């Protein structure tokens, strides 16, 4: 496992980090977004989607658990599994079937850990107690493919 810590001092910077990551990903890739309410998981997804010119279309997948975005090259599935009562509910909506079909971004993905693919990128969003717009992003790569992506990201952002 490789890790990279980046301090983001604005929601724009978080979106920019997401946009930079987006260009390295393709069908079958999974990103887990974790961190407390209001930490920036949806903001990150908004930035990610902006790479595909989908910046004005984001809404939180609160009621439907997953929102689907189609582009010419790839489908993007944005999950928020916070309101699932358990992992069986994730299986019941056919959640696992999305992993191979496009790029999956999963808010609160740690709640469905056993259903996740073996390899993924996991991003922890940590709020700063003293600075309102600051977040520490702790990005962890599980799997060789994602470790290489993380190296590229490091070169580009740091
Ligand atoms: N550095 C930053 N990165 C991301 N968001 C920031 C930052 N600074 C301030 N914000 C603000 O924090 C809020 C983050 O909200 P967001 O909906 O992305 O959180 P979330 O993690 O998805 O929460 P939830 O668990 O409720 O879905 C936004 O209003 C955003 O503008
Ligand atoms: Mg959210």
pLDDT value at position 29? 98
The pTM assigned to this predicted structure is 0.97
- For the stretch 88-130, pLDDT in tens is 999 999 999 999 999 999 999 999 999 999 999 999 999 999 9
Place of tokens 């997953």: 66
Question: Helices then strands (H, E): number in the chain?
Answer: 4, 7
Give the contacts of 111 (CB within 8 A, at least 6 positions apart): 81, 82, 84, 87
Q: Ligand 1 pocket, 78 CB below 6 A?
A: no
Q: Where are the domains of the chain?
A: 2-157
Q: What is the DSSP letter of 44?
A: H
Q: What is the DSSP letter of 24?
A: T
Q: Ligand 1 pocket, 133 CB below 6 A?
A: yes
- For domain 2-157, say whether CATH 3.90.550.10 is its number: no
């Amino acid at each position: 496992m490789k890790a990279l810590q980046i301090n983001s001092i604005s929601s724009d910077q978080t979106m920019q980090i997401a946009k930079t990551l987006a260009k390295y990903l393709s069908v079958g890739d999974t990103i887990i977004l974790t961190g407390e309410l209001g930490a920036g998981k949806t903001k990150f997804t908004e930035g990610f989607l902006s790479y595909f010119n989908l910046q004005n279309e984001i809404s939180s997948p609160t009621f439907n658990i997953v929102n689907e975005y189609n582009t010419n090259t790839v489908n993007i599935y944005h999950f928020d599994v916070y309101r699932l009562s358990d992992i069986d509910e994730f299986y019941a909506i056919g959640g696992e079937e999305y992993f191979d079909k496009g790029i999956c971004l999963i808010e609160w993905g740690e709640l469905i850990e056993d259903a996740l693919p073996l390899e993924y990128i996991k991003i922890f969003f940590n709020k700063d107690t003293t600075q309102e717009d600051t977040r520490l992003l702790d990005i962890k790569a599980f799997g060789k493919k994602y470790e290489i992506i993380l190296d590229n990201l490091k070169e580009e952002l740091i």
